[in-house]
């Protein structure tokens, strides 16, 4: 199993809503990532979890709240988002000690 | 020093032709250089990667050429096919560390039948 699974694939939310994006991998990877990607741009790193601990936060606004409940799951909790937060949110995982990053297919978020 | 510069921004190639995308980096500490392929509406997928101890790596129709002294690397797609039409991102990072993958700006490749 070499998949990173993200749900939901599409999400539309208002600026006052609270929603969550979910990511799951069963490859035994102990590093998990959240990226944000705008159209025609490269992915931008948001958060890195290493062994279920937050190791990198790229100065992301607090309206984005990551959570790593266990080594297979990664959540991104969303609250009071702005229309400019509309983007493709990508989860990725990496086997410790390697450089190979595996991406999920992403969750397309639209904030109205 | 953390930048990876990618060119061209877009590329149109005839079917059967060779597609060439170039990247340059600044940080000499980088030791892992992957290329990702991304189709519309999908996440990036690792296509091929190289470590700086080799000058070339080939996998099927895809070849990475690496020039350590010039701090440049490139992707060559031989016998390009319409199914290769996608956005390609080069990247650089430190292989055994949990740090950032530094992406180039991407190249939108269109292969015409």
For A13-55, the pLDDT digits (tens) are 998 889 999 999 999 999 999 999 999 999 999 999 999 999 9
In this prediction, residue B43 carries a pLDDT of: 93
pLDDT of residue A2 exceeding 80: no
In this prediction, residues B6-20 reach a mean pLDDT of 98
- Per the CB < 8 A criterion, the answer to whether B96 and A99 are in contact is yes
What the block records as the tokens of A112 is 């109205």
In this prediction, residues B6-29 reach a mean pLDDT of 96
Question: A70: which DSSP letter?
Answer: E
In this prediction, residue B104 carries a pLDDT of: 96
pLDDT grade for B1, boundaries at 50, 70 and 90: low
List all residues 6 or more positions away from B97 whose beta carbon is below 8 Å from its beta carbon: none
Across the interface, which of A6, A31, A104 has its CB nearest the CB of B98? Answer: A31
Neighboring chain B residues of A50 at a CB cutoff of 8 Å? 98
Share of chain B above pLDDT 70, in %: 95
In this prediction, residue B97 carries a pLDDT of: 63
Q: Which residues of B35-55 are buried (b: 16+ CB within 10 A; e: fewer)?
A: bbbbeeeebbeebbbbebeee
Q: How distant is the Cα of B16 from the closest Cα of chain A, in angstroms?
A: 26
In this prediction, residues B5-14 reach a mean pLDDT of 98
Q: How distant is the Cα of B104 from the closest Cα of chain A, in angstroms?
A: 7
Q: Is A65 exposed, middle or buried (0-12, 13-18, 19+ CB in 10 A)?
A: middle
pLDDT of residue B72 exceeding 90: yes
In this prediction, residues A67-95 reach a mean pLDDT of 95
Across the interface, which of A88, A97, A101 has its CB nearest the CB of B96? Answer: A97
Pairing outcome for strands A64-70 and B62-67: unpaired
Neighboring chain B residues of A101 at a CB cutoff of 8 Å? 34, 46, 101
In this prediction, residue A96 carries a pLDDT of: 73
Q: Please indicate whether residue B97 or residue B44 has the higher confidence score (pLDDT).
A: B44
List all residues 6 or more positions away from B84 whose beta carbon is below 8 Å from its beta carbon: B19, B77, B109, B111
How many other CB atoms are there within 10 angstroms of residue A14's CB atom?
10
How many other CB atoms are there within 10 angstroms of residue B90's CB atom?
29
Of A71, A77, A87, A62, the residue nearest A32 (C-alpha): A71
pLDDT of residue A100 exceeding 80: yes
Q: How distant is the Cα of B97 from the closest Cα of chain A, in angstroms?
A: 7
pLDDT grade for A99, boundaries at 50, 70 and 90: confident
Query: How much is the mean pLDDT over chain B?
Result: 93
CB contact under 8 A, A42 and B104: yes
Long-range contacts of B43-47 (CB under 8 A, 24+ apart): B43/A4, B43/A6, B43/A88, B43/A90, B43/A92, B43/A103, B43/A104, B43/A105, B43/A106, B44/A43, B44/A90, B44/A103, B44/B89, B45/A103, B46/A100, B46/A101, B46/A102, B47/B75, B47/B88
In this prediction, residue B99 carries a pLDDT of: 62
In this prediction, residue B28 carries a pLDDT of: 87
Q: Is A28 exposed, middle or buried (0-12, 13-18, 19+ CB in 10 A)?
A: exposed
Across the interface, which of A90, A96, A99 has its CB nearest the CB of B43? Answer: A90
In this prediction, residue B31 carries a pLDDT of: 87
What the block records as the tokens of B81 is 């096919």
In this prediction, residues A76-104 reach a mean pLDDT of 91
């Amino acid at each position: 199993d070499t998949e990173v699974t993200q749900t939901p694939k599409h999400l539309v939310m208002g600026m006052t809503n609270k929603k969550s994006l979910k990511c799951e991998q069963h490859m035994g990877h102990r590093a998990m990532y959240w990226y944000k990607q705008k159209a025609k741009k490269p992915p931008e790193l948001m958060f890195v979890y290493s062994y279920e601990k937050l190791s990198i936060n790229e100065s992301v606004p607090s309206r984005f709240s990551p959570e790593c409940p266990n080594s297979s799951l990664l959540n991104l909790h969303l609250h009071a988002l702005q229309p400019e937060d509309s983007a493709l949110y990508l989860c990725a995982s990496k086997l410790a000690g390697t450089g190979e990053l595996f991406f999920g297919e992403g969750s397309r978020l639209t904030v109205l | 020093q953390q930048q990876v510069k990618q060119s061209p921004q877009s590329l149109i190639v005839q079917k059967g032709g060779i597609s060439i995308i170039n990247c340059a980096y600044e940080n000499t500490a980088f030791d892992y250089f992957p290329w990702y392929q991304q189709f519309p509406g999908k996440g990036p997928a690792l296509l091929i990667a190289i470590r700086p101890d080799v000058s070339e790596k080939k996998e099927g129709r895809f070849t990475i050429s690496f020039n350590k002294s010039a701090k440049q690397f490139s992707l060559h797609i031989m016998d390009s096919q319409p199914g290769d039409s996608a956005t390609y991102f080069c990247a650089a990072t430190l292989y055994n560390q949990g740090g950032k993958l530094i992406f180039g700006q991407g190249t939108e490749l269109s292969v015409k039948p």
